[in-house]
């Protein structure tokens, strides 16, 4: 069979790929990668950095490319066929990874090079790669006895299938729920744009009325603006109970199995818990440090959060006689209170944030800071007609990257926003091979009468994902295993979170925040209101973020075998951070995709950790001007281009001249004066 994935390709040949091409291509990629590893293992020459460590890092390129195409489609444009292939392919990939990680002869060669590391005259990047390779084998059971290796293989195979099933259930639950409204009075309070989108959604499904779903662009406006409290409750309970219905889409057993298997795996490898295992390769280093970090911020945030909650309660009581504020009231009354205090309404802001203008804005910011140019092109093949593609060059017209952007929700696309890569940057055979980077979001769609107008939150999301994309696009390392976002997990959010800061600055907003009908630049009083309101309810927002980090650690930092009831465990964990009354029919863990499907297990704290870095880093920009090219060049040279070539704190200090201080974050959040 002619398989486009097995022909040599630079750009992913999306339009030629059929579902049946994936499994043969993945199997072929595994075979090729195994042969490449066999050549390394059977080399009769003594192990060297070049013939073992370098050779291993450059191996598996075909498999990496095929799987990056496949798994991104499984997130952004999936269907039952692709999901079935994922269930079949995941155990094969897990087994292949274990074949490599548990190959004792390969490990012996790596170990031989590692033991001579101080005599090899390696540069910093080579030294890091050697250390990373050695640890990836020693940490993953290469020197375990055979019976334990077999056990590890079984665990990894089961984990790969369980996390896929978890994600499929969450997506199916999201797609299954529909709230069809036939009375216009039920939409009272909803902005015209949200009504129009709901009408269009119903029409697309050949239904009369207005359709509200659990996709963010539908869910969030309804929870924020709809006056009908009972309907908000219905929607919130549906959203909060994904994977928690004791039916065939239930995730409770899957959560318990994943947590226990991760713990068993950690014990097998000689670690006290999954968190101990994970954090050894993070800036935070150990669970105790994560708990102390989260609790230190909790101590500062909790009093502020409790004050804000009381303020919100009395506001809701005065306005509507609400005696007990519930979770489905939070966004609604927060928005009303924000409008009252700051005379600021997301609906007043949206006309200034037409999607195309915001895209131009983020490109202009990247151009002013890092000298990049973005040119839209129709020459790049895509997996869906909505995907936009760009050639990225520097000011001397040197090619930097291909950039894909996919902005709107679809039935086959999971919620949220993420960045991914179709081709890694590396230097090989004298060439600097440039990357192909993609961001995927779920923003409000255009309607018949309006273009896609973003909420301010969606604007910051676009800047956030674009920050990740810059980390990928500006990568400039030798080895693919250290390139771009291949960094410690609690460092990876720094480029994304730091870029969000430009959304709050007059100088940046004036570049792109222009009214979609009149072209008028956003008035300064609105910019000031955005800044003034940026710390509004920040205590509550911080508490919520900390609660997710603590929930993650509660699943992974100790033996979970005593946990029999997912909901009861979660309730106990949230006791310190909850403000709203609990609702028995909802459960966060059963849809907590970050930790049970994505790579954030024992790592959710890293969003807050990176906020400390980003607040400190942006302080440096502000001291010198937010478009200061010297500071930007230091950020590019020491952070964005360096990937994981050195310890992240070393890179950060080279950029900043000092370690980050949490005060910058607490001050920015208005939690300390």
Query: CA 86, CA 174: separation in Å to the nearest integer?
Result: 19
Check: CB of residue 317 under 8 Å from CB of residue 337.
no
Query: CA 13, CA 383: separation in Å to the nearest integer?
Result: 9
What the block records as the tokens of 45 is 């020459």
Query: CA 547, CA 305: separation in Å to the nearest integer?
Result: 12
Q: Residue 328, exposed/middle/buried by CB under 10 A (0-12, 13-18, 19+)? A: buried
Collapsed DSSP state (helix, strand, coil) of residue 262 = helix
What is the DSSP secondary structure assignment for residue 279, as one 8-state letter? H
Residues 6+ apart with CB under 8 A from 592: 548, 551, 552
Residues 6+ apart with CB under 8 A from 331: 220, 223, 224
Residues 6+ apart with CB under 8 A from 192: none
Picking from 35, 47, 3, the residue whose alpha carbon sits closest to that of residue 21 is 3
What is the DSSP secondary structure assignment for residue 604, as one 8-state letter? T
Picking from 656, 577, 655, 638, the residue whose alpha carbon sits closest to that of residue 297 is 577
Q: Which residues are tagged catalytic? A: 465
Collapsed DSSP state (helix, strand, coil) of residue 630 = helix
Q: What is the DSSP annotation of 483-526?
A: STT-S-TTTTHHHHHHHHGGGG-HHHHHHH-B-TTT-PBPPHHH
Query: CA 259, CA 209: separation in Å to the nearest integer?
Result: 43
Query: CA 351, CA 344: separation in Å to the nearest integer?
Result: 13
Query: CA 565, CA 253: separation in Å to the nearest integer?
Result: 9
Query: CA 554, CA 291: separation in Å to the nearest integer?
Result: 10
Residues 6+ apart with CB under 8 A from 11: 380, 381, 402, 436
Check: CB of residue 283 under 8 Å from CB of residue 609.
yes
Q: Burial letters for 343-381: b for 16+ Cβ neighbours within 10 Å, e otherwise?
A: ebebbebbbbbbbebbbebbbebbebbbbbbbeeeeebb
**Pairing relation of β-strands 399-406 and 388-394?**
antiparallel
Which uninterrupted H or E stretch holds 360?
helix 355-370
Q: Provide the total of helices (H) and of strands (E) in the chain, helices listed first.
A: 27, 9
Task: Please tell me the total number of residues recorded for the chain in this structure.
Answer: 673
Which uninterrupted H or E stretch holds 390?
strand 388-394
403 CB-side CA count, 13 A:
26
Query: CA 555, CA 644: separation in Å to the nearest integer?
Result: 28
């Amino acid at each position: 069979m002619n398989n486009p994935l097995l022909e040599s390709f630079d750009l992913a040949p999306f339009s030629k790929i059929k579902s049946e091409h994936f499994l043969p291509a993945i199997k072929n990629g595994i075979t090729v990668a195994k042969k490449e590893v066999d050549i390394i293992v059977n080399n009769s020459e003594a192990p060297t950095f070049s013939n073992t460590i370098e050779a291993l890092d450059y191996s598996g390129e075909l498999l990496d490319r095929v799987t990056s195409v496949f798994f991104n489609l499984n997130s952004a444009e999936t269907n039952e066929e692709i999901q079935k292939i994922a269930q079949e392919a995941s155990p094969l990939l897990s087994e292949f990874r274990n074949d490599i990680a548990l190959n004792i002869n390969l490990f012996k060669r790596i170990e031989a090079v590692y033991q001579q590391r101080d005599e090899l005259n390696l540069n910093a990047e080579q030294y890091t790669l050697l250390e990373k390779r050695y640890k990836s084998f020693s940490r993953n059971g290469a020197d375990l006895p055979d019976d334990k290796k077999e056990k590890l293989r079984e665990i990894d195979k089961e984990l790969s299938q369980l996390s896929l099933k978890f994600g499929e259930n969450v997506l199916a639950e999201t797609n299954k729920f529909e709230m069809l409204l036939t009375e216009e009075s039920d939409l009272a309070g909803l902005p015209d744009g949200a009504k129009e989108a709901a009408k269009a959604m119903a029409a697309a499904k050949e239904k009369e009325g207005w359709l509200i779903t659990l996709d963010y662009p539908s869910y969030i406006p309804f929870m924020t603006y709809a006056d009908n409290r009972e309907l908000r409750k219905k929607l919130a309970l549906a959203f909060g109970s994904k994977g928690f219905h004791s039916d065939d889409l239930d995730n409770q057993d899957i959560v318990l199995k994943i947590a226990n298997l991760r713990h068993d795996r950690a014990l097998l490898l000689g670690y006290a818990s999954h968190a101990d295992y994970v954090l050894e390769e993070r800036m935070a280093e150990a669970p105790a440090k994560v708990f102390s970090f989260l609790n230190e911020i909790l101590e500062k945030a909790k009093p502020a959060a409790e004050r804000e909650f009381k303020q919100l309660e009395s506001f809701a009581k005065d306005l509507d006689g609400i005696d007990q504020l519930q979770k489905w009231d939070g966004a609604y009354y927060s928005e009303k209170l924000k409008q009252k205090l700051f005379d600021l309404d997301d609906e007043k802001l949206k006309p200034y944030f037409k999607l195309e203008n915001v895209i131009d804005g983020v490109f202009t910011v990247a151009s002013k800071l890092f000298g990049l140019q973005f040119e839209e092109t129709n020459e790049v093949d895509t997996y869906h007609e909505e995907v936009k593609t760009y050639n990225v060059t520097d000011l001397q017209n040197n090619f930097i990257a291909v950039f894909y952007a996919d902005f709107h929700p679809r039935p086959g696309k999971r919620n949220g926003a993420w960045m991914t890569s179709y081709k890694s940057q590396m230097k090989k055979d004298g060439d600097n091979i440039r990357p192909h980077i993609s961001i995927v979001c779920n923003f409000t769609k255009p309607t018949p009468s309006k273009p896609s107008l973003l909420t301010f939150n969606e604007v910051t999301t676009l800047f956030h994902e674009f920050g990740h994309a810059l980390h990928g696009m500006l990568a400039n390392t030798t080895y693919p295993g250290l390139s771009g976002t291949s960094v410690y997990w609690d460092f990876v959010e720094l480029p994304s979170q730091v870029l969000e800061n430009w959304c709050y600055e007059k100088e940046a907003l004036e570049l792109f925040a222009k009214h979609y009908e009149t072209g008028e630049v956003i008035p300064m009083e609105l910019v000031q209101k955005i800044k003034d309101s940026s710390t509004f309810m920040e205590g509550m927002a911080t508490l919520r973020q900390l609660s997710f980090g603590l929930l993650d650690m509660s699943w992974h930092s100790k033996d979970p075998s005593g946990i029999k009831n997912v909901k009861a465990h979660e309730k106990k964990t949230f006791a310190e951070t909850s403000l709203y009354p609990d609702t028995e029919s909802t459960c966060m863990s059963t849809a907590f995709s970050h930790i049970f499907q994505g790579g954030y297990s024992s790592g959710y704290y890293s969003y807050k950790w990176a906020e400390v870095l980003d607040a400190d880093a942006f302080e440096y920009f502000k001291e010198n001007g937010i478009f200061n090219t010297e500071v930007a060049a230091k950020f590019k040279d020491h952070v964005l281009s360096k990937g994981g070539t050195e310890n992240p704190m070393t890179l950060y200090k080279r950029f900043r001249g000092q370690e980050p201080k949490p005060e910058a974050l607490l001050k920015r959040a208005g939690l300390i004066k």
